[in-house]
Structure 1
Amino acid sequence: MKDFKEILFILLRFLGIWLVLFVLYQIYLNYYKSDIDFITRIISNQSAFLLNKTGFETTTKDFPVYETIMFYINGKPATRMVEGCNAVSVMILFLAFIFAFYKGFKTILFAFSGIVILYILNLFRIYVLNVVVVNHYEYTKPAHDYFFPAIIYGGVVLLWLIWINKFVLKEELMKAKSNQLSHDEVS
């Protein structure tokens, strides 16, 4: 019964953290109603910068009514970026899981590092999607619908596995060994 309570507590903590972060993000998005939010704008600007630095003449144009930023590469429309492309909702999911298994200050360090990694993965994802659209248009749909979501969600799962295996379970195993040694010394 103790294991069930621990699992239930972790699940409730995950859901609570996710809900709080989700509500805060929605409040943030409501501030930008009928406009493009700051995070989406920053990511689109950084993606355009990377494209320009690697030989793809890129400009962006805002369409606030549609809450969209359009990428133009070599003067032609390439992709459009909406709020969902900024990966914040994926980062919220990542954070909720990490903090559900809170292990002190290292949780904060791992969470920060994970957010940076996911942010970079997302920039890479947007960059490569634009390159695919320009150079291999026929692969746009499978790239957008399957390959690129796999990159960002795969990154989340990989980070979760690292967190669980290197920090959560390792610490639990060390506690169990310590308890076993203490028990053996008493016997």
Structure 2
Amino acid sequence: MKNTINQHKPFFLFLLKFVLFYLIFTLIYKFYLNQFNVENKEVDGITEFVAHQTKNTLVFFGKECEIRKHEFESSYKVIYYNKYLARIIEGCNAISVIILFASFVFAFSAKFKNTFLFILFGSALIFVLNILRIALLTIGLYNYPEYEEFLHNIVFPLVIYGVVFVLWIVWVVKFSAYAKRNN
């Protein structure tokens, strides 16, 4: 058993770092979310920020859009050209995706500065792309309502997770401790 652990030590170290980072930051995020009362239809600040930035993005590109707090649930309505098209809930703010992204990068960590900067850059990129994703999804739902399931459940998750995957590949190949060993 000891020989197996020593033989696969890099894998077990990666797994331990990934799980610890993921659990710690997921618990921090859940603690943050627990400050908001879902029964009173309170929306967390990050989701509210994403909703308003989605509106600002659409307005910047000359689209007519407004955001309204939902009357019956903790979310924001996206009103696009006077039509209620979508709602932005906590799951739309990309924080869970960012935690997953950062956990993997941390698990393959190199120097603290490089790891921290890559997580910061990657998280910001994912956050901005997520806002663009919601804005484009809104336009897509307006123009192609018959493709709602396809757009929401396949195309846009594929885009966001595809970007995360590409960032992971760049991290492992160019910046991680693994890349340093193999150069």
- The alignment's TM-score, normalised by the length of structure 2, stands at 0.91
Structure 2 counterpart of 1:86: 93
Structure-2 change in CA distance of 1:160 and 1:91 (3 Å): same
Which runs of structure 2 are paired with 1:90-169 in the superposition (5 Å)? 90-104=97-111, 105-168=113-176, 169=178
| 1:22 paired residue number | 26
Residues 91-110 of structure 1: per-residue CA shift (max 9 Å, x gap)? 00011111111211100111
Preserved CA contact (<8 Å) 1:43 1:123:
yes
| Ranges in structure 1 where 5+ consecutive residues have no aligned partner | 175-187
Q: CA deviation at 1:65?
A: 4.8
Q: What fraction of aligned residue pairs are identical, expressed as a percent?
A: 32
The residue type equivalent to 1:83 in the other structure is: E
CA RMSD of aligned residues (A): 1.2
The separation in 2 between residues aligned to 1:56 and 1:140, in whole angstroms, is: 20
Contact 1:10 1:101 in 2 (8 A): yes
Shift of 1:52: 1.3
Secondary structure at 2:175's aligned position in 1? Answer: helix
Aligned mates of 1:170, 1:121 — CA distance in 2: 27
1:172 is matched with: 181
Which whole-Å CA distance do the structure 1 matches of 2:72 and 2:46 have between them? 17
Structure 2: how far apart are the matches of 1:166 and 1:85? 30
Matching residue of 2:47: 40
Take 2:141 and 2:11, find their aligned partners in 1: how far apart are those partners?
44
Identify which range, 113-122 or 165-174, moves more after superposition: 165-174
Alpha-carbon distance between aligned partners in 2 of 1:166 and 1:60, rounded to the nearest angstrom:
41
Kindly state the Cα deviation for residue 64 of structure 1 after the two structures are TM-superposed.
6.4
Within the candidate set 27, 50, 62, 2:57 is matched to 50
Structure of larger gyration radius: 1
Question: Which structure has more helix as a fraction of its residues?
Answer: 1
Counterpart secondary structure, 1:33: coil
